[in-house]
Amino acid sequence: MFILSNIQKSLLSVSTTTATRRDPYTAVHQQRAARLACAIAREMDLSGRLIEGIRIAGILHDIGKIYVPAEILNKPGQLTETEIDLIKTHPQIGYEILRGIEFPWPVAQIVLQHHEKINGSGYPSNLSGKDILLEARIPWAWPILLRLWPLTGLTGQLMV
């Protein structure tokens, strides 16, 4: 386990509390995504140090949604193109929030790249392949795996 500074611990706490109060779905999603990403990283036999960085980035990966109005995040119907475009700004906003905070891992870059796709069709920069950090390539699988999770019996195996 790697020791985080008090400032880093406070940031994680503030992020989690803010997400929970503003949008409970996002708060639960961030925690599940962090657990799942760590499980994937362990299966990939990544180092404990790298896994801890992935955990931190997983907890913070949607911090940029603070910029998106809650009524859009919680909208029950289909989103407009403008609303989708606004939601797609959250990786950049998250990066801007985190870039000045020193972590022993590239947390801000992972947050920025977490919606990039291997084939280059992601956002915000349309990165592809190895241009995407390994730590950010793992989150690309999160949406798929989170949808499959209830159907597979993986919950016992993937709990952190």
What pLDDT, in 10s, does the model give residues 78-135?
999 999 999 999 999 999 999 998 889 999 999 999 999 889 999 999 999 999 999 9
b/e string for 55-86 if b means 16 or more Cβ within 10 A?
Answer: bbbbbbbbbbbbebeeeebeeeeeeeeebeeb
Distance CA 133, CA 56 (A): 15
Average pLDDT over residues 17-21: 74
List, in order of start, the domains of the chain with CATH numbers.
6-155 (1.10.3210.10)
Report whether the peptide linkage leading into residue 124 is cis, meaning its omega lies within 30 degrees of zero: yes
pLDDT in the model for residue 135: 92
Query: What's this model's pTM, rounded to 2 decimal places?
Result: 0.81
Average pLDDT over residues 61-65: 90
